[in-house]
Amino acid sequence: MLAQIPSKTRKQIEAKRDELSQEVQKMFVQLRDLERQAEEKIMKLNREVATFVLEPRLATLREEFKDVQKVIEYLNEVLEDVLTNVPLIVQGGQKVQGPMGIQIEAESPVKNYQVNLIVDNSQLEGAPVEMELNPTYFRLFGAMEREARFGALFTDYTMVKAGAAHRANGGFLVVPVEGLFMDAFTYQSLKQTLTTGKLEIEEQMARMGYMVTRSIRPEPIPFTGKVVVIGEPYAYQILYSMDKDFREMFKVKADFDTTMPRNKGNAEDYAAFVCMLCNRENLLHLNSGALCELIELSSRMIEDQNKLSTEFAQIANVVREANFYAKEDGAKEITRDHMRKTIEERIYRSNLIQTKMQEMVDRGIILLATDGEKVGQVNGLSVIELGDYAFGHPSRITASVGAGKDGVIDIEREAQMSGPTHHKGVLILGGYLNGTYAVDKPLSLTAKLVFEQSYSGVDGDSASSTELYAIISALSGKPIKQQLAVTGSVNQKGEVQAIGGVNQKIEGFYEICKLSGLNGKQGVMIPESNVQNLMLKEEVLEAIKKGKFHIYPVKTINEGIEVLTGEKAGERGKEGKFEGGTVNYLVQQRLAEFAERVKEYRP
């Protein structure tokens, strides 16, 4: 059409069009300027309105935290960010396109101003105290959680979680030392925190040197808490000797005793503890008889008449079980009978092996005599431990002697079935024999000792006096009463020394004697220093009171010889000789004969 118009007219139209285009362009420029001015005025108005709303609130916060410069800086940054993003805040969340074209709700910019309060100790009275029984890295130092969105992991500062160290900051953090060893980085991170005084939340993979995805990293915060590490003494010794930093960081050591004196005050404290436990857990209360039985059990647990156990967790378990039996009987309180039933049931649930071994003795499978007399044969006593249960079991110990130069030979050691402590005890026997009988002539003796029917090894020196009695009996020819069992260690001077497990040993031999029938002659010989450790079962005490069973405390080997043989041991005279006819005299004569035979022997 335009091509058909005359050239002159067409040029006029084009000129008018260009002129109009320029005018329109000018109008668009003016319109953009107006829009810009309007936006600036709206933004200014928004900032003024927002400032008007925020400033009073921020002023209050600035006044409250005027001494904390970082808080003031943060509040100023929040104000500037809010003023900048007022339009977005006003518009609220918008739909955005996610994976596969899915429209998803965008996060509101208001979320940027939410406070992630990871620790709140405002309600505490005094310093915070945190006990973390499972001190993994995350539980101790916190973590940055993530959430999955369409196959990807996202995080932000609102997902930062505190650990026990954050909650204990400014107070006390208590952790078990064994738990620190379970996580490779927990102990090192704890040392770093104490050394630098800074508490960090860090990606655990980054500490291992692995490449990690980009993430937030919270700023370290000052740490002013005190760390208390609790555990067994052996753990302290390991750390003290193996880690030079440990002794610098943990300078205060405190040992806690597992016992306390048995006196009126502590007995009353025991009663208060039990009363508190019963009130807290809604248990029946103990009457006076039950409480006395519990205190007796406490002393028995540590084998000391003058002490009480402070292992209250075990005491509490006994009370809870006694409460069960009391309620089962429909009782209104826990009595002595309920306490005794509890103790008996706890033993019954654990003494299967003990019962089987007693049965083998009763059937003659394990040879053990509880009557009569034998030369060079003694009933020794040992303790077998099965986790939380221990029981005494008698064993036959025999000795054979002859002329020679080998001294005392421990067959258990030769068979590689004895421990170092037992071997030490056997060597002490040689020292005693040498010091007592080899005064004017060399000790010419080969004696062999063995625990009969022992297949699991022997350790400890609590049978050393028993072995010595067997050797003395074999040398003197004087028989030993088999109705008696013996325990106690001995030194080179012939003094009988205290041993452990005395109650279990006595009760173990008592059970064996009961199988064959108590004849009023049976009993156990113990070191006199162990008398204070006697906390025997009621049944054994009743048998002793009725004269059916006996306990013989001795201080020296000579006293023990007289109890076991019924013969006089004999004291050394001024000329170095023992009184004629005594056990020691017969031993000295026998050793003199051995010395002559060895001297005359020509291989």
pLDDT in tens, 240-287: 998 888 888 898 999 888 899 999 999 999 999 999 999 999 999 999
**For position 136, what pLDDT does the model report?**
87
CA dist 85 and 62 (Å) reads: 22
What residue ranges of the chain are covered by domains with CATH 3.30.230.10?
A: 356-600
Q: What share of the chain is helix, strand, coil (3-state, %, to 5)?
A: 50, 15, 35
Specify the range with the lowest mean pLDDT, choosing from 114-123, 543-552, 588-597. Answer: 114-123
Condensed to tens digits (0 to 9), the pLDDT of residues 298-318 reads: 999 999 999 999 999 999 999
Amino acid at site 445: L
pLDDT band at residue 456 under the 50/70/90 scheme: confident
Please check the confidence at residue 421 and state whether its pLDDT lies above 70.
yes
Condensed to tens digits (0 to 9), the pLDDT of residues 539-583 reads: 999 999 999 999 999 999 999 999 999 999 998 887 778 888 899
Average pLDDT over residues 523-537: 95
**For position 184, what pLDDT does the model report?**
73
Tokens standing for residue 3: 């091509």
Among the ranges 28-42, 172-186, 459-473, which has the highest mean pLDDT value? 459-473
Q: Residue 133's closest CA among 165, 179, 169?
A: 179
Please check the confidence at residue 183 and state whether its pLDDT lies above 60.
yes
Please check the confidence at residue 321 and state whether its pLDDT lies above 90.
yes
Tokens standing for residue 531: 């008398």
**For position 215, what pLDDT does the model report?**
66
What residue ranges of the chain are covered by domains with CATH 1.10.8.60?
A: 259-348
Query: Residue 459, Cα to own-chain centre: how many angstroms?
Result: 25
Among the ranges 211-215, 246-250, 256-260, 488-492, which has the highest mean pLDDT value? 488-492
Identify the helix (H) or strand (E) that includes residue 175: strand 172-176
pLDDT band at residue 217 under the 50/70/90 scheme: confident
Helices within 208-363 (DSSP H only): 233-242, 244-249, 264-280, 288-302, 312-328, 336-348, 352-362
Average pLDDT over residues 331-339: 94
Specify the range with the lowest mean pLDDT, choosing from 66-80, 108-122, 200-214. Answer: 200-214
Q: What is the dihedral of CA 83, 161, 173, 243, to 10 degrees?
A: -110
Average pLDDT over residues 121-134: 88
CA dist 68 and 60 (Å) reads: 14
What architecture does CATH give domain 356-600? Answer: 2-Layer Sandwich (3.30)
**For position 83, what pLDDT does the model report?**
79
- % pLDDT > 90, the chain: 49
**For position 545, what pLDDT does the model report?**
95
CA dist 517 and 550 (Å) reads: 14
Where are the strands (E) in 310-466, listed by range?
Answer: 373-374, 377-386, 389-402, 407-410, 446-451
pLDDT band at residue 44 under the 50/70/90 scheme: confident
Among the ranges 217-231, 381-395, 477-491, which has the highest mean pLDDT value? 477-491
> Is pTM, for the whole model, over 0.85?
no
**Which CATH number is correct for 259-348, 3.20.20.60, 3.30.420.10, 1.10.8.60, 3.40.50.620?**
1.10.8.60
What residue ranges of the chain are covered by domains with CATH 3.40.50.300?
A: 129-249
DSSP codes, 489-513: EE-TT-BEE--S-HHHHHHHHHHHH
Query: Residue 537, Cα to own-chain centre: how many angstroms?
Result: 29
Pairing of strands 484-486, 377-386: parallel
Per the prediction, the chain carries an average pLDDT of: 87
Average pLDDT over residues 406-421: 89
Condensed to tens digits (0 to 9), the pLDDT of residues 58-100 reads: 888 888 888 888 888 888 888 888 877 777 776 665 555 555 5
Among the ranges 150-164, 519-533, 589-603, which has the highest mean pLDDT value? 519-533
Q: Are 413 and 429 in contact (CB under 8 A)?
A: no
Identify the helix (H) or strand (E) that includes residue 211: none
Q: What is the dihedral of CA 32, 36, 38, 44, to 10 degrees?
A: 180
Please check the confidence at residue 142 and state whether its pLDDT lies above 80.
yes
**For position 292, what pLDDT does the model report?**
93
Q: Which CATH superfamily is domain 129-249 in?
A: P-loop containing nucleotide triphosphate hydrolases (3.40.50.300)
Average pLDDT over residues 40-56: 79
**For position 102, what pLDDT does the model report?**
52
Identify the helix (H) or strand (E) that includes residue 524: strand 523-527
CA dist 119 and 529 (Å) reads: 57
Amino acid at site 52: F
DSSP 3-state of 7: helix
Chain position carrying tokens 């001795």: 554
Chain position carrying tokens 């291989």: 603
DSSP codes, 63-120: HHTTT-HHHHHHHHHHHHHHHHTHHHHHH---EEE-GGG-EEEPPPGGGGG-------
Q: What angle do CA 462, 468, 472 make, to 5 degrees?
A: 160
